[in-house]
Amino acid sequence: MSSQPRPTPSAPQAPRVTAQTLLEKKRLGEPITALTAYDYPTARLVDEAGIDIILVGDSLGMAVLGYDTTLPVTMDEMLHHAKAVARATRHALLVADMPFGSYHVSPEQAVTNALRFIQEAGMSAVKIEGNNADLVARLTRAEIPVVCHLGLTPQSVHRMGGYKVQGKTASAVEQLCHDAAALEGAGAIAIVLEGIPRQAAELITANSGIPTIGIGAGPLCDGQILVFHDLFNLSFTPPAKFVRPQADAAALFREGLARYREEVSARTFPSDAESYHLSSSALQELAHS
């Protein structure tokens, strides 16, 4: 069974977003837009909407694979989804999360795995969590652009005791500022700030020479990112405080699925007009055979 072949995405009106594009947006005070995508159709829609960054996040573990956390996601799963996203994208900067365990054993392991995202999957950058300044420097020397991730880092869910807001004390904010500066100094091209007070994100953004991308970090980051499935009510969980759903795709799908079931059950689908027909001559041959 197969659908009709998909046409190749047309060339974008705007050029491909790069790390330099993001820096220029920060300099001009132009907000950066980012979303996750995990497959061809959603990536194509996101790209055609003109979103600046597409993140193939390890959040796919929960959004599309049914895991309880991001921790079980493997390199093979990430590469599989990253390749599909790359085939759909012509405009956005493509970033892939390095999954748990893919950069923790040694710098050599991290470089090898990061290179696979660039060479095999067509990504433009990788994302790693925490203050890994030495690793960022190592990857940068290998010509692998790195987006970093501070605050609520999902791969640290066990250490943090759950998905909890971070940076709630003055000392914690100071540590976040120190970490952000270290990552910038190591060569990071951007920093995702997740689940921290807006004042902390504002301070980091104001003192950072590279873009900050917020998710649950208030309105004053250089950009914002959300999970695609959260945006369209496809996560099957109540949305987080920082999510503003834009449509109810789950309701749309449920209605369509119910109609399809009813039409097939009532034999009103497919209709004669939706069926293929033999020619008159073929019918005559059959009648005389």
C-alpha distance from residue 42 to each of 37, 49, 89, 101 (Å): 6, 11, 10, 27
**Domains plus CATH for the chain?**
19-247 (3.20.20.60), 252-287 (no CATH)
What pLDDT was estimated at residue 23?
98
Please, what is the Cα angle at 47 between 45 and 49, to 5 degrees? 70
| Number of CB atoms found within 10 A of residue 10's CB | 8
What pLDDT was estimated at residue 35?
98
Half-sphere exposure of 115 (CA within 13 A, CB side): 10
Calpha distance 150→152 (Å, rounded): 6
Calpha distance 284→128 (Å, rounded): 68
150: exposed, middle or buried (Cβ count in 10 Å: 0-12, 13-18, 19+): buried
Q: Which two tokens stand for residue 33?
A: 């837009």
C-alpha 59: how far from its chain's center? 8
Q: Which residues contact 90 (CB under 8 A, 6 or more apart)?
A: 9, 10, 11, 12, 16, 47
Element (H, E) at 151: strand 146-151
Please, what is the Cα angle at 38 between 164 and 190, to 5 degrees? 60
Q: From the CA atom positions of the chain, what is the Rg in Å?
A: 23
What pLDDT was estimated at residue 6?
63
Please, what is the Cα angle at 61 between 47 and 56, to 5 degrees? 25
Residue of 122, 52, 44 lying closest to 89 (CA atoms): 44
What pLDDT was estimated at residue 253?
98
The two counts, helices (H) then strands (E), for the chain are 12, 8
Instruction: Write out the chain's pLDDT in tens, 289 residues.
Output: 556 666 666 544 679 999 999 999 999 999 999 999 999 999 999 999 999 999 999 999 999 999 999 999 999 999 999 999 999 999 999 999 999 999 999 999 999 999 999 999 999 999 999 999 999 999 999 999 999 999 999 999 999 999 999 999 999 999 999 999 999 999 999 999 999 999 999 999 999 999 999 999 999 999 999 999 999 999 999 999 999 999 999 999 999 999 999 999 999 999 999 999 999 999 999 999 8
Catalytic residues: 194
What pLDDT was estimated at residue 289?
82
